[in-house]
Amino acid sequence: MATPASFDPQAFRTALGTFTTGVTIITTQAEDGTPVGITANSFNSVSLNPPLVLWSLSKNARSLPAFSEGRHWNVHVLSTEQESLSGRFARQGEDKFCELPFESGISGAPLLQDCTARFQCRTAFQYEGGDHVIFVGEVLAFDHSDRAPLAFQSGQYALAMRKPRSELRLATTPPPPECSYTEDLLGYLLGRSHYQMLHALRRLLKNQQLDEHAFFILSTLCIRDNLTLDEINGFVGYTGHVVSSSSMRFLERQHLVAREVGDGEARYVLTADGREASLQEIALAKAVEEDIAARLGAGDAQALKVLLKRLITASDPGLPDLWAPR
């Protein structure tokens, strides 16, 4: 264990970085009226009564005089959609507010838009904190939204995912006697969630007189058409369905795809009717997704997508990339 006498500054920084924080932008106004802003993850609450918050700023920061001499500053808790804004305010040597819309608040400090939460503050105390200055502010006004917050952990941006106690049964239920198959098995969780979503989609597709097999084919051709039968199967092979010539003939009879022969090889393209049908099917799939995402919450839904993309990359057997440029 490291002791104060043996601290390695970089190792200490790495250890501190394991503490997950939110990401904020702090803004103020310089004496000449120039807007000033920086990215900070040192923001924290202090007191509810009176309402106090704090954050810290390096003594080497160019913006220190503006915050030390000014009386007001605003804290913006960034949403997951504002990662690029965080990067902009973390850099030096550029006009951070160029073409950036902001509102007027209690003070002249810029008030940024589309954040998860905002706190308009007045400096109550300033403290020396080693190589930083600690600012404690009285909160004069605040607002918040349902936007998912951006997080920062171990030097990287992250997504916060809720873990309510009411949903922990899967992790705590003991397995049945003489059986290691539990509700916490990843394959079971993925499979059940997939089939439950597919069940909801099937009910909607039934009104379109098309099944999910046709949905996979039309969706693939909507993204990239002029494909051979083998190429179509390469893209949808992960579904376990095999696209046959009879499947394509059925879609041809429905005037949804057209078969073109050139150089002795048959290729399939979407017709205008097929593109319209595909867009309707995708709209139905998005309706199912939006309903489930609303139940999960925007933050959890986005975090789930990130984890699933990582899982797809980790388990990819070498399938062709449907979205890769030709």
Residue 206 corresponds to which tokens in the numbers above? 């039934």
Q: What angle do CA 310, 315, 319 make, to 5 degrees?
A: 105
pLDDT of residue 56: 95
pLDDT of residue 271: 92
Contacts by 138-143, CB closer than 8 A, 24 or more apart: 138/50, 138/51, 138/52, 139/51, 139/52, 139/53, 140/106, 141/105, 141/106, 142/117, 142/118, 143/117, 143/118
Fold topology of 186-315:
Arc Repressor Mutant, subunit A (1.10.10)
Contact 249, 279 (CB under 8 A): no
Residues of the chain with pLDDT under 70: 1-6, 161-181, 208-209, 326
Contact 237, 184 (CB under 8 A): no
- For residue range 236-286, list pLDDT tens digits in order: 888 888 898 998 999 999 899 999 987 778 899 999 998 998 888 888 889
How many angstroms from the chain centroid is the CA of residue 86? Answer: 14
Q: Which DSSP symbol is given to 240?
A: T
CA end-to-end distance (rounded Å), the chain: 53
CA dist 279 to 75, 152, 167, 250, 305, Å? 42, 37, 35, 19, 22
User: Dmax of the chain from CA atoms?
Assistant: 80
pLDDT of residue 1: 59
Contact 235, 219 (CB under 8 A): no
In whole angstroms, what is the distance from residue 298 CA to residue 83 CA?
16
Q: Model-level pTM greater than 0.75?
A: no
- For residue range 43-81, list pLDDT tens digits in order: 999 999 999 999 999 999 999 999 999 899 999 999 988
In whole angstroms, what is the distance from residue 76 CA to residue 122 CA?
14
> What sign for the dihedral angle of Cα 17, 18, 19, 21?
positive
CA nearest to 297, candidates 125, 92, 146, 124: 146
- Tell me the CB-side half-sphere exposure of residue 301, using CA atoms within 13 A: 14
Contacts by 247-255, CB closer than 8 A, 24 or more apart: 247/213, 247/214, 247/217, 248/217, 250/214, 251/214, 251/217, 251/218
pLDDT of residue 199: 87
pLDDT of residue 178: 64
Domain boundaries, the chain: 15-159, 186-315
Residue 197 corresponds to which tokens in the numbers above? 């979503």
Fold topology of 15-159:
Pnp Oxidase; Chain A (2.30.110)
Query: For the chain, what percent of residues have pLDDT higher than 90?
Result: 40
Contact 220, 231 (CB under 8 A): no
